[in-house]
Amino acid sequence: MNEHQHKSALSESQSNNSSGNVSAESAQRIRDSRRNKSSEKSLLKDLLEGNKTALGRSITLVESNQPKHKEMAEAIVEGALPHAKKSIRVGITGVPGVGKSTFIESFGSYLIEKGKKVAVLAVDPSSSVSHGSILGDKTRMEKLVTQKNAFIRPSPSGDSLGGVARKTRESILLCEAAGFDVILIETVGVGQSETTVHSMTDFFLLLKLAGAGDELQGIKRGIVEMADAIVINKADGENQKAAREARLEFKRALQLYPPKPSEWKPQVHLISALYEKGISEVWEMITEFKSSTDKNGHFEHNRQEQNKFWLFQSINDHLKSQFYNNTKVKIELEKQLRLIEENRTTAFTAARALLKLS
């Protein structure tokens, strides 16, 4: 056999003849794909080792709308999934000004002192005009942000209902995979997002104020019915008497609600986040809840039901994205909008015409 016949597979793969049938564009795509896979593996490895920079970068990919980033994000989330589900997820909501950020800083600092790793996913409201977001939670949690075992991630709410960031669920999984065992999800608190938060958390905590007419809302159905605990903040100084009265009002109101599937009876607590009073009692209550729901099987059952809910949610999001990115739909949508402006068609008829194209 001659020298030509002994060429190695490696030299064959590197020869000009073998790559002659591959266009420059295709070759670049292959190189980009290999580079992305290498980057994904490196990022996932750092994430699983608890690297906060890697966690932040991974969440940025999850939140991105760029198709290339979406592919990378999906691969990272898939790789992180087997390492998740080891935390307690706590949803925290309340009207603006109730002291959510102050409470989270006090509560998070207390948990870190007890040896916990705490991740805070704080959803900031986006402007409906400029679509911008202040993302100021880190500046309001000056003490917590400096802690080694704390991770604070403010995210813009975008156009999602009530301000719950579209990708918060995936961010929760990434935080768990990075080793954070307490995940706190703070909502915008505008009264619409609570159902969505409730569908991705284990324990739902409602912060209230006393003496601001806020306690009257406890008599209404809705958010209070979903709450596993009502915590009345700013129960200090001259406000202590009003806080105690509000606690009685809420306790009476909670008796009107039917029993929860978890068999947990919601509790009402008084705290002063500013002076760090009552914080330890809140954590004791959450651990009691976890122990109780572990025993009766509700904790795991609830997680499974949430996964099913998010399957349908993911399908809806994908179909919506596919629909609006369809070129024919984009052209027809502009046409139908003009017809609506000219009162030549109805919204229902226009929608039916658009849906026929998808």
Burial 78-106 (b: 16+ CB within 10 A, else e): ebbeebeeebbbbbbbbbeebbbbbbbbb
Match 């949508």 to its residue by tokens.
333
Q: Residue 191 has what pLDDT?
A: 54
What does pLDDT average to over the chain? 82
Whether 250 has a pLDDT exceeding 80, the answer reads yes
Q: Is the Cβ–Cβ distance between 270 and 250 less than 8 Å?
A: no
Q: How many CA atoms lie within 13 A of 42 on its CB side?
A: 8
pTM: 0.80
For residue range 50-60, what is the model confidence (pLDDT) as tens digits?
Answer: 999 999 999 99
Instruction: Using DSSP, state whether 196 is helix, strand or coil.
Output: helix
Q: Residue 93 has what pLDDT?
A: 87
For residues 157-180, average pLDDT: 76
Whether 264 has a pLDDT exceeding 70, the answer reads yes
- Residue 53 CB contacts under 8 Å (≥ 6 apart), including other chains: 46
Q: Residue 18 has what pLDDT?
A: 41
Model confidence band, residue 17 (pLDDT cutoffs 50, 70, 90): very low
Q: Is the Cβ–Cβ distance between 48 and 174 less than 8 Å?
A: no
For residues 186-196, average pLDDT: 67
- Point out the least confidently predicted range of 47-51, 84-88, 220-224, 338-342: 220-224
Q: What's CA 250's distance to the chain center, in Å?
A: 28
Q: Residue 26 has what pLDDT?
A: 63
Model confidence band, residue 22 (pLDDT cutoffs 50, 70, 90): low
Q: Of 260, 259, 266, 299, whose CA–CA distance to 282 is shortest?
A: 266
Domains of the chain with bracketed CATH: 29-79 (1.20.5.170), 84-296 (3.40.50.300), 307-355 (no CATH)
Q: Is the Cβ–Cβ distance between 80 and 47 less than 8 Å?
A: yes
For residues 72-81, average pLDDT: 92
Pick the more confident residue, 349 or 5: 349
Dihedral sign (CA 258, 259, 260, 264) = positive
